[in-house]
Amino acid sequence: MDHLLKVEENPAHQALNIKIFGRLDATNALIVEDEIKKNIQFSDTKRIILDFSELHYLSSAGLRMLIIIFKELKEKNRALVLHSLNPSVYNVIRLTGYQNFLKIVDSPEEAFEPI
């Protein structure tokens, strides 16, 4: 399987940075979800930041994964922030209305700003 994600802890900002590469679709969404959940479980950070700068495609399976992660974090009073979305990925999220509850920012720096 190709390199799907890269995880880095940022203790100074109490954040877990997760960069997702390529496509997030039915072929890999469950794998990515499991990896994110595993990292969330073993981290006490207050904010999970998904870097989409290298994500080129988002399917309904990827959207489902985002909602599952969002709900799990919300139950634990933790935040999910997405940044650096390309226009086609943002458009998929916008068409579903998910931008109304997902925190989406333009840059990595904005991902660390207070929510």
Q: Mind listing the pLDDT tens digit for each residue in 21-74? A: 999 999 999 999 999 999 999 888 999 999 999 999 999 999 999 999 999 999
**Predicted TM-score of the model (pTM):** 0.92
Give the Cα separation of 78 and 3 in Å (integer): 26
Across-strand partners of 48?
Answer: 16, 80
| 3.30.750.24, 3.40.50.720, 3.40.50.300, 3.10.20.30: CATH of 5-111 | 3.30.750.24
Q: Are 4 and 18 in contact (CB under 8 A)?
A: no
Question: What is the separation of C-alpha 108 from the centre of its chain, rounded to a whole number of angstroms?
Answer: 12
Question: What is the separation of C-alpha 14 from the centre of its chain, rounded to a whole number of angstroms?
Answer: 16
> pLDDT, tens digit, for every residue of 67-113?
999 999 999 999 999 999 999 999 999 999 999 999 999 999 999 88
